Structure 1
Amino acid sequence: MTQIPDGRQRLAQNLGYAGILPFVLTLAMFWGTQLWQVWSLHAFLFYAAIILSFLGGIHWGLALRDSQNPLSPDTLQRLILSMAPSLLAWPALLLDEEQGLWVLAIGFVLTWWYERLPASRKRVPAWYLQLRTRLTLVVLACHLGMLMRFWIV
């Protein structure tokens, strides 16, 4: 039996899909004039850093929400690891653009991987993990598209 999503789930999914639009739009603009290429690359990098940091914030919130056992190893690990995306995203903006794209892409993969660990999976609904997989695949495809531009030119 297929479960009908509640309003919160549907809204979260729609917002998640809307959140990939800037990735796709800046990637499309990267194929324009040289001025557009420079602008879109920087816009892409900054947006990716913001979104990667946002993903860490999700886990910060989940760790703080655990009032039953706030000092459990899983909760403390989640709280500490929730900072990792921001700590990858910020230096990625200080590197050259190609290296920054790689660091951000790796950050998205590591965050996706962490969300699949047993301790992490039990704290989020299955639909969230499915959504995150779809969104991560699109974001990584956009990163690859941006990286391909470096290899072609």
Structure 2
Amino acid sequence: MLLQARLTTRLGAAGLLPFAFTLLMAWVAPAGWQAWAISAFLFYSAVILSFLGGIQWGVAMTLDAPEDAAFASRMLRSMLPSLIAWPALLLPDLAATLILLAGYLLIHAYEGQPASRARLPGWYRSLRRSLTLCVAGGHVLMALRLVIG
């Protein structure tokens, strides 16, 4: 169990590196690289938000019975992150940043509901809480960067 927690914590932290790198570049790199960094941040954010939906798909397939209403509900909700992420990429950068932020907060709220908590291991909920805080903070800093130019 401890080894599993260490592995997931390390993998989660590694998943924050592209957010941190592109956010830093968006603030301090030369102007041409800043535009690239902003796009890279948004694309990575959309990929990770979609990945979080995939986790819910996997939970439904492995832990919920297809004939139960919980299965259908979780399967439908598993699609929402990608349906938020992809269209966000078609919008101006500030709007995309705020919509992706909202997507992270929505999935975090869903994972905090009793029906979701019952299906997710404790280590996952703890890890997701920390990662969501970091990712949300990164989106706020990116929004600030886009506002002040």
TM bracket, shorter-chain basis: over 0.9
Write out aligned runs for 1:42-121 (5 A).
Answer: 42-66=39-63, 69-121=65-117
Per the normalisation by structure 1, the TM-score is 0.92
Question: Aligned AA for 2:99?
Answer: V
Partners of 1:21 and 1:34 lie apart in 2 by 21
Deviation at 1:126, TM superposition (A): 1.4
- Offset at 1:17? 1.0
Are 2:7 and 1:14 equivalent residues in the alignment?
Answer: no
Cα distance in 1 for partners of 2:43, 2:147 equals 21
* TM-score, normalising length: structure 2: 0.95
Whether the aligned pair in 1 keeps the contact of 2:93 and 2:146 (CA below 8 Å) is no
Compute the displacement of 1:66 (Å).
2.4
The percent identity for this pair of structures is: 47
Residue 137 of structure 1: how far off its partner (Å): 0.6
What amino acid maps onto 1:127 in structure 2? Answer: W
Q: Which has the higher helix share?
A: 2
Q: Distance in 2 between matches of 1:132 and 1:66?
A: 19
Residue equivalent to 1:130? 126
CA distances 1:34-66 after superposition (whole Å, capped 9, x unpaired): 111100000000000000000000000010002
Q: CA deviation at 1:132?
A: 0.3
Runs of at least 5 residues in structure 1 that lack an aligned partner in the other structure = none
Tell me which amino acid in the other structure corresponds to 1:37: Q
RMSD: 1.1
Unaligned residue ranges in structure 2 (runs of 5+): none
